[in-house]
Amino acid sequence: MSVYRSRHALRGPLTQDRIAALALPLTRRWWRGYQVDEVDALLHRLAFELQRRTRERDEMRAENQRIKGALRAWQSEQRRCQPS
């Protein structure tokens, strides 16, 4: 797995507070709006972070299901092994 890096994007993990406090650079005085390359870089970074976090969540859910299944199997085995 590679880590997305851009000289324009935020460094470190993105948090709600960091995104809310983000100030994108404006274009030159005679133009209105934000610098397109800065906005594009931020959008790419947000998409990468969202994809990474979604993948991690899905992996954790799968691991959780695996552990639950193993626990159920172990509990069933323990019940069968107990004398009546």
pLDDT digits over 31-46, tens only?
677 777 888 888 888 8
Q: What is the dihedral of CA 70, 71, 74, 78, to 10 degrees?
A: -170
Q: For residue 10, what is the DSSP state?
A: P
Q: Residue 39: CB partners within 8 Å, gap ≥ 6?
A: 24
Q: What is the pTM of this model?
A: 0.59
Provide mean pLDDT across the span 2-27: 66
Q: Residue 25: CB partners within 8 Å, gap ≥ 6?
A: 34, 35, 38
- Round to the nearest angstrom and report the end-to-end CA distance of the chain: 52
Per-residue pLDDT of 65-80, as tens digits, reads 999 999 999 999 999 9
CA 3 to chain centre: 12
- What mean pLDDT is reported for the chain? 80
